[in-house]
Amino acid sequence: MKGFIYLLEIAVAAILIVVVLGIFFAVKVKLNWERSDLIAAGNNMLNSLKQDGKIIDILNGDVSSIDNVSSVNINYGLKILGSPKSKIVVGCVSNKDYIKSLLTDTYVNGHWINFTVEDCFDINAGIPDYYDAVVFVNYTGYSTSSVKSNITEYLKKGGVVIGINATITSEQNFNDIFNLTWPGAQPSTPLNFTFYDPSRDDITKYFLGFGFDINTPNSVDSKKWGYWYIWEDSRKVNITANAVDIENKTADEVGLKNIPEGGTFNLKMPPPDSIWHTFKVKKIFWDNKVIIQPLNKSFVFRDFSEKNVRGNNIVSNSLNTYAALTTNNSAIWISDFPLSDEYRTLVKAAIASRKDEWYAKQPYPTKETTEVSSFVSLCCDMPETPELTFILWYKV
């Protein structure tokens, strides 16, 4: 009898082991199946969006097309890496209207970057986290310890700080935030970008890709016209639906009439520089705007620097001994500047270059997630290969 009970106990134990192992492997197989299924669904979504030409819509912040290709039992988030955020929210402590005039909406590679300048805030109370960037124009309060600590904390959280100032060489907090040193006054020369290397810094790439947007609010006959401020001088620009006329400033500037979209032309800098540059009519938005793009990587600026500060120089004199634009990671200093479109474009490029990782749709997962990524090559204003990453999980 005891032997029979012993055999019965062994049989029960074996059954329990089989049941437990079955449950374990069933769970494991189910989890593997879910992950594989999510990967397949994500790849299908990405392929469908590419084939339907919806990637530009997504980069413009419109994710409605994703719902048409996603499964009803799957939730998703979408992260963009390597392309500027479509809607950039900017804060200020003063000069709101002036900052808005600098940060006009920008069109590049078929998609838009929209800047929104919020009402000014109290820097002593801290910088709100929802600002993508903050811009200080000729601000003089850096010496206050709370201001420096609030800026430092905001930078640690991923914010962007743009300081547009004539240099404050005696203010240590200002120099610390932007990592500036004072080499002493230097002779004036034209300014250039110190390098073109998107693997090191994207500001130059975005500057050249963005170009200069020229509003044409005035009407004459069948044309619209406005002023392009380039090298601190104004040129009248007329546009039709198909072509652009640009005012020439010297007798040797030719070919500035009836330039089609995509057409190129040459301009000479004002004296004493008198350097020739090549530009392209990038896009005509009849009847309110034309975008003109510089084609020279060695674009030359008039010297708008104070000629007495340097740091990690992005725009500097030919000897790299003083700067007009420097970077300290996401703290970017630009020397105060007169009215001219190249300086506006520098500010926009500086902000956009630091806001190229963002969520087109923020994920709020309720279960374990799976990520599926794909690269997209965009054309043709500048090199741009954003990575789109779907974060996927099953609905509860």
Residue found by looking up tokens 């005696």 in the block: 170
Where are the chain's structural domains?
A: 2-83+357-394, 209-294
Q: How many CB atoms lie within 10 A of CB 342?
A: 21
Least confident of 81-85, 181-185, 339-343: 181-185
Q: How far is CA 133 from CA 25, 63, 112, in A?
A: 50, 24, 18
Better-scored residue on pLDDT, 85 or 1: 85
**Residue 24, Cα to own-chain centre: how many angstroms?**
48
Please state the rounded mean pLDDT for residues 218-232.
94
Query: How far apart are the C-alpha atoms of 100 and 96, rounded to whole Å?
Result: 6
User: How would DSSP label each residue in 249-298?
Assistant: -STT----SSEETT-EEEEEPPTTT--EEEEEEEEEETTTEEEEEE--TT
SS3 378: strand
pLDDT band at 17 (very low <50, low <70, confident <90, very high): very low
For residues 126, 131, 133, 139, the Cα torsion angle rounded to the nearest 10 degrees is: -40
**Residue 261, Cα to own-chain centre: how many angstroms?**
25
Per cent of the chain over pLDDT 70 is 92
Contact 388, 59 (CB under 8 A): no
pLDDT in tens, 323-379: 999 999 999 999 999 999 999 999 999 999 999 999 999 999 999 999 999 999 999
Query: How far apart are the C-alpha atoms of 226 and 206, rounded to whole Å?
Result: 24
Instruction: Please give the radius of gyration of the chain, using alpha carbons only, rounded to the nearest integer.
Output: 28
Per cent of the chain over pLDDT 90 is 83
